[in-house]
Structure 1
Amino acid sequence: MLSLCVFCGASSGHDHAYADAARAFGQSLAEHRIELVWGGGHVGLMGVVADAVHAHRGKSYGVIPEFMAERELAHPFATEMVVVDSMHTRKAAMAERAQGFVALPGGYGTMDELFEILTWAQLHIHHKPVGLLNVKGFFDPLLAFMRHMVSAGFVKQTQLDQLHVAESPEALIAAMRLHRAPEGDWLAKVSSARG
């Protein structure tokens, strides 16, 4: 695994544990020589992760929309920074560059990015690992709701099982390196069931 896309908050949250975890994750990326792929910002947890990568001589690839770059939100020390025309282009560019995806604590934008990439995995648009760094149980309510979606028949258990969850950066990276894409094509099965 040579690169990981990180989704996380443009703010740091109220608990310093979130920034501590983001810092530790950035350091782990650098130590494992895994390139950080991220939204290019220098604020919030995004900035904390990138700062840690650069502090430990790691590499980073930022993708930031033009309207954010114009507001001087782009990280000044990115190894490579790409300015794009829209949020849609940003997400596509990050997904193409990364060999896996990790969500840290964040808000609406983080959830948007996480669920889009999970949906792409469900539709077999990609077979890359997806993980959650579950800092102080931040994602526990979300995971409970995802299990509810399974029990209600809207998500397959095998699809939920593809999501890697860990409380430490090292454990999460190790799990994602062992990731194996599921067999079969869910979309093809849905189509054949209708036919």
Structure 2
Amino acid sequence: MDPHFHIALVLFVLATPIAFAYDNSPLQDTCVAVKDSKSAVFVNGKFCKDPKLAIAKDFLFKGLDNCGNTSNKLGSKVTLVTVNELPGLNTLGIAMARIDFAPYGLNPPHIHPRGTEILTVLEGTLYVGFVTSNPDNRLISKVLNKGDVFVFPKGLIHFQYNEGKTNAVAISGLSSQNPGIITIANSVFGSNPSISDAILAKAFQLDKKVVDYLQAQF
């Protein structure tokens, strides 16, 4: 046997398990297997337009220069640009967002199950941070000023808080065409149907009346 072929074969065998050692990242929250293709429903794993029919409009999003409305309880507004807002992002694995903050506004603790986030402060000052996974649950945080950049690893709880007396603006890039967002408080206390108050009381070591109050807020 040709020694060069033998070496190439060995390298291929060694490399193959690595190449197929993991699945692709999911593009939606659930994807139940079906045998009948007629029952299949695409959520954000979308059908593709014939490339010959693509036009500039498919790759254009306007309005990210507009300030978001922060007149809400949290004092923040996230303007997303995912595949749902910009069809040309389909299969490209990226998205972005503009985040506006009123003074002392908060983008509350949340996670992106399908994407890492990189954030740049354009205006103002933000206190940001993320929490590492169990068992450490270590808070890694920093005060950011204009021009500073911070990264929130995929799937970890993180937040941004405007600790200044003026408005703040940030731009985020995300490593998924649809990174998803799970706001912790909304998901835990505002699920539909509600999680049993007995379960939440035990999980958070709270009185059931406190849990009932919190659930009523959502």
Task: Tell me the TM-score range normalised by the shorter chain.
Answer: under 0.3
TM-score normalised to structure 1 length: 0.27
**Which structure has the greater CA radius of gyration?**
2
Q: Which structure shows the higher strand fraction? A: 2
